[in-house]
Amino acid sequence: MIILLSPEQPVAHESAIVNTLLERGLSLFHIRKYQLTDVEMAAYVDAIDPDYRKQVVLHSHFHLANELGIGRLHVREEDRKQHKQQAFMTGFTLSTSVHTITTFNTLDALWDYAFLSPVFPSISKKGYGITHTVLHDLRLRRNPHVRLVGLGGIDEQNYGQVFTAGADAIALLGAIWNSPQPIQVFDTIHKNIHTEIHHEAK
């Protein structure tokens, strides 16, 4: 499974890229646009093909979810610690973020999956993950209820290490939005993952 996070700042042809990647096999698209007004958020979501609405995840503007036909919400770590997810525990599929495997292991089955980061030094957030990454901590995973999604610095060269370390999925950000050829980057990773899965199944 490949998840894509939106860039926080606008990127040229952003909606067209998202629609193309969903068409080409992107599993889920996370919208991180905290600064948008309600009207702007509705317009952003409307630019995504309705056929893929079930694969869209909101990081904010939760009060618009039903109106926009979105059934997936992502609760940030600081919000989870304040139990803000309690208002959305029914009717939505929830995901969250953690930054240590110890915290991941304590998550209950309420969460469909959790981002664990940074597995590598960040591409989009310069300096993040330079002194500490969590890739080698994945072997300490003890939580059978929640899927683990590696996030941070993942690109077409290193994504395989994340699956080998024990992640269920990967999340992309800078590898896509900082690339002059985002669709080709996605295609390379997506194709290789499916080729490897096919070989393992033989």
pLDDT of residue 147: 97
Q: 192 — alpha (psi -120 to 50), left (phi > 0) or beta?
A: alpha
What are the two backbone dihedrals, phi and then psi, of residue 35, each rounded to the nearest 5 degrees? -85, -10
How many other C-beta atoms lie within 10 A of the C-beta of residue 152?
A: 26
pLDDT of residue 122: 72
Average pLDDT, consecutive stretches of 10 residues, N- to C-terminus, the chain (202 residues) = 94 96 97 96 97 96 94 94 83 95 95 95 63 86 96 94 94 95 96 64 39
Structural domain boundaries of the chain? 2-201
- pLDDT (tens digit, 9 = 90+) per residue, 11-20? 999 999 999 9
pLDDT of residue 86: 83
Q: What are 84-90's contacts with CB under 8 Å, separation 24+?
A: 85/110, 87/62, 88/62
pLDDT of residue 199: 43
Burial of 122 (0-12, 13-18, 19+ CB in 10 A): buried
CATH architecture of 2-201: Alpha-Beta Barrel (3.20)
